[in-house]
Amino acid sequence: MANPTAILLASSNLLRHINLESYANKIETALLKIIKSKKALTSDIGGCSSTTQFTEAMIEQAHIS
């Protein structure tokens, strides 16, 4: 199981580094909403969703945010 949270936060930091703050914020906001709601968490952070389900939830949340 790969931890999608780590790569998403690293991507967010990279976006900030290249002055794409709004995109970085969108990723972080979506990620925090999923974690706080316990929606689509992978087993390494206490859930039972697959990485695919987690990624789909991230995409959905990013469109909402």
Q: Would you kindly state where each structural domain of the chain is located, as residue ranges?
A: 4-64
Query: Do residues 24 and 12 make contact, with C-beta atoms less than 8 angstroms apart?
Result: yes
Global pTM exceeds 0.75: yes
How large is the angle between the packed helices 21-37 and 4-17, nearest 10 degrees? 160
Position 14 scores a pLDDT of 98
Position 65 scores a pLDDT of 67
Mean pLDDT of 2-31: 93
